[in-house]
Structure 1
């Protein structure tokens, strides 16, 4: 009975607001912009650009530049080091979200204000809870536990604040009523050592009435397979008879769906996607029959959208929500109650509906690998390839990489990366050393990749093929792309390019193939 009362209370607080998001989207966004500009008008940034609640969206766009993380970093660093009233009013936040590295650093750090936690992350989380209980009322989701799997916290390298994955920050700060709905307890949930964490959580949750799963598919799959092994079960419903919903995000779910359907067969597990990031909680799936995500328009974020042809423009001109159209990909540009102003997130989305505004995630503004939450960008890959080549005395002419997705069956809980590398000369005498150095440098450069590679738990070592000279030229020629600035994509989450390149290799062993 108490769970039904709580579900009703959450629905009353969230569902009317979501209705306004669907039916009054432009009015909601106008109100968010007024709130942001009014709150920040006394900050150093607000004074620099003449902020006022009455400032129009057009004038705001004219005055304030679009910024990447690197461009905004001088102001962000002031906040990280404790300076108040820089981008958002008040003392420097005591929380910092740590995310994947940039061209300048292994990890990037973003301030997380109290308002961002309460009016973005918590509000969106309550909305997802309200939708879940509305969509699946007979499952009595709140009568059991939500198994949520997140990151860890650490002391910030910049001062007294705590830093960590945004999931850990949110989990740590949840109100008491929300803490009672989740498992495992915080001391386990926030453990830093992943191998120990997975083992201890698996043993703890065996005894819980888990009805909802929430987390990144990569790590959730590792955990669930350990749970099955400990329980000696073939089906998760043998362990948790009332398990019925998986809230997932961070990576594309397509490659994982079949694996989860094996863990809970017979269509007994429902799936809903969320779209959140270190910078904010942007959208959620409000219709189970559609993969489209409802854009959250009154959660402390003002949105603009950069057309694809302007991704590399020195003077980017994003368009407001009212001017988007269905079909094209746009890069997200956000202004938030964490003090990110006209901030280019790097994600790209495509609108599938304008009434209401729904999107699908289409990728990143740069090539990247993020099949497992590792977020390896081209800059990481090029630096790691160069380091491996230098250390082994060879020179790389070209390369491409793609994921090796999880496969069904026992003993296949890890994914990985597969590389095709063309050298200007013969392969190194110690080919295995090349792959090892590539892996080590990627781990040094990118904290998310390093976490996934820890003790080979989620990602296997890279699998490198040394392809014959001329392979990439043949691939380009076969597609009419020789000449000019045409080149093979360095990284992709699709395996299409990699498999086309590898198909050009001679049949049988070549002596140039490294498998680890």
Structure 2
């Protein structure tokens, strides 16, 4: 065991008493976070508009500050990106995380303050490693390298000082020196903009290294591993990295990929899987017990104040919200966050369900809107409607009903790796003059309006072109009737992140 591994594991274990205390008293940590955030927000433009100087309690805060989505706060973020200070947050903000867009914009830009970097994102990474060490006391993970699959950075689109890019790239760029030492590849490769070249270089470099861990999204991890196996002629990645220990995953639901990773890609009991819940907006939760898959401890001291709104009430402007100490088990809540980067009562769009209390563990149960995000592409209904409209216009088609969902990546023993994609079941009132052209326009429109979908489609590396099925008239009506959901008050689900609806419909075809 190397001196570096011994030193880092010793240092990381010193973080565990704090984490244990948080399990017992998360409410006290949240109270401290709340007071600090309100105090810091008082002299911002937002804080003055919402009378933060008069806020003395959580109840005051909930009365005076509305729950907001991205569209409501974008004008403030735009002012920050143009160089204005003390708009949403008192500290200068030079980093903006770019993520999948809304109805009105191809991409969202989320402010990442110095406090959010140090006290949330990087702190979360340290705690993730500490909890892994706690679960695996004899680990030698720091004898090798941690492979990070991240995005890229770009200039501020408003031409001012500052940088925009994926949160993974922003965090990599700001890691402490010791964090850079234990990761691979070097930043000049990790932050490359052109994905095909980046993955090619990453495969060449990391195949020669002692990689002991990966932090990444399942889809890109699979693509990279397939490239490495192709280059090396090996059939199992553990032949390339015999000391590999853990795959840390997040961003999309892992359950559809679990068997693929545990039984085929990392077909060895030595490999562990650890889930994290982080996003552009913050680092929220970490799997603290690796014997409890799909459950993560919500971290209450990362400069984020949490509120939870029952899903059935989530569309209200001032719905009743609950603090961390008020939540109930096994109830779906829309997650509302107030962060140390100036997101105030921000509706992140995820729903969570608590699986335990003290410690407060969550499972990400879905999105507040219908979506497909099996590969990190975050296609929402608004994207789908726009793409369908363009495809109909181009081909003279008229839509009666439709639904769409994912085709999961898999490994076929005969034909090898099969990439993922989207599958659409469409009932036309008037057929397109060419289903081929319809599919092409559908795909091209989604790529144009959704930057995350476009990135996954690039070079067919993670997603291939959609598959479109045309079904006979009344297919959807008959299907809804069979489910006991016939009638005007029931709607066909447009998008789903599982294949349940697709498989039902295609069985009827």
3-state secondary structure, aligned to 2:105: coil
User: Which position in structure 2 is the counterpart of 1:304?
Assistant: 307
Distance 1:139 1:53 in 2: 51
User: Which position in structure 1 is the counterpart of 2:220?
Assistant: 219
Query: Which of 316, 319, 323 matches 1:316?
Result: 319
Asked if the contact 2:91/2:113 (under 8 Å) is kept, the reply is: no
User: Which position in structure 2 is the counterpart of 1:430?
Assistant: 434
Distance 1:203 1:50 in 2: 56
TM-score of the superposed pair, with normalisation by structure 1: 0.95
Distance 1:206 1:489 in 2: 43
Once the two structures are superposed, the pairs formed by residues 229-268 of structure 1 within 5 Å of their partners are 229-261=230-262, 262-268=264-270
Distance 1:238 1:335 in 2: 45
User: Which position in structure 2 is the counterpart of 1:161?
Assistant: 162
Asked if the contact 1:139/1:242 (under 8 Å) is kept, the reply is: no
Query: Which of 428, 453, 456 matches 1:449?
Result: 453
Once the two structures are superposed, the pairs formed by residues 97-116 of structure 1 within 5 Å of their partners are 97-116=97-116
Residues 429 and 49 (structure 1 numbering): CA distance in 2 closer, same or farther, change over 3 Å? Answer: closer
User: Which position in structure 1 is the counterpart of 2:376?
Assistant: 373
User: Which position in structure 1 is the counterpart of 2:358?
Assistant: 355
Residues 32 and 52 (structure 1 numbering): CA distance in 2 closer, same or farther, change over 3 Å? Answer: farther
Once the two structures are superposed, the pairs formed by residues 22-101 of structure 1 within 5 Å of their partners are 22-52=23-53, 55-91=56-92, 93-101=93-101
Structure 2 residue 214 is the aligned partner of structure 1 residue 210? no
Once the two structures are superposed, the pairs formed by residues 393-472 of structure 1 within 5 Å of their partners are 393-409=396-412, 411-425=416-430, 427-472=431-476
Distance 1:244 1:135 in 2: 12
Residues 173 and 53 (structure 1 numbering): CA distance in 2 closer, same or farther, change over 3 Å? Answer: farther
The alpha carbon displacement at 1:55 in A equals: 1.9
3-state secondary structure, aligned to 2:315: coil
Report the count of equivalent residues: 502
The alpha carbon displacement at 1:50 in A equals: 2.4
User: Which position in structure 2 is the counterpart of 1:170?
Assistant: 171
The alpha carbon displacement at 1:228 in A equals: 1.5
Moved more, 269-278 or 1-10: 1-10
The alpha carbon displacement at 1:53 in A equals: 9.6
3-state secondary structure, aligned to 1:127: helix
Asked if the contact 1:153/1:190 (under 8 Å) is kept, the reply is: yes
TM-score of the superposed pair, with normalisation by structure 2: 0.97
After superposition, the C-alpha distances for 1:260-306 in whole angstroms (9 at most, x for unaligned) are 22122132210000000010000010001102100010001000001
The alpha carbon displacement at 1:46 in A equals: 1.4
Distance 1:453 1:446 in 2: 11
Distance 1:412 1:237 in 2: 17
Distance 1:454 1:446 in 2: 12
Distance 1:271 1:142 in 2: 16
The alpha carbon displacement at 1:135 in A equals: 1.9
The alpha carbon displacement at 1:412 in A equals: 2.3
Asked if the contact 1:222/1:413 (under 8 Å) is kept, the reply is: no
User: Which position in structure 1 is the counterpart of 2:483?
Assistant: 479
Moved more, 135-144 or 283-292: 135-144
After superposition, the C-alpha distances for 1:316-370 in whole angstroms (9 at most, x for unaligned) are 2222222210011000000000000000000000011111111000000000000
The alpha carbon displacement at 1:315 in A equals: 3.3
Distance 2:481 2:504 in 1: 12
CA RMSD in angstroms comes to 1.3
The alpha carbon displacement at 1:133 in A equals: 2.1
Query: Which of 368, 385, 390 matches 2:388?
Result: 385
Moved more, 406-415 or 470-479: 406-415
Residues 416 and 235 (structure 1 numbering): CA distance in 2 closer, same or farther, change over 3 Å? Answer: same
The alpha carbon displacement at 1:41 in A equals: 1.2
Unaligned 5+ runs, structure 1: 506-516
Distance 1:350 1:55 in 2: 29
Asked if the contact 1:40/1:88 (under 8 Å) is kept, the reply is: yes
User: Which position in structure 1 is the counterpart of 2:127?
Assistant: 127
3-state secondary structure, aligned to 2:63: helix
User: Which position in structure 2 is the counterpart of 1:294?
Assistant: 297
Distance 2:345 2:411 in 1: 43
Asked if the contact 1:37/1:53 (under 8 Å) is kept, the reply is: no
Unaligned 5+ runs, structure 2: none
3-state secondary structure, aligned to 2:164: strand
3-state secondary structure, aligned to 2:417: coil
Asked if the contact 2:377/2:452 (under 8 Å) is kept, the reply is: yes
Asked if the contact 2:120/2:283 (under 8 Å) is kept, the reply is: yes
The alpha carbon displacement at 1:310 in A equals: 0.9
Distance 2:142 2:54 in 1: 40
Asked if the contact 1:20/1:28 (under 8 Å) is kept, the reply is: no
3-state secondary structure, aligned to 1:438: helix
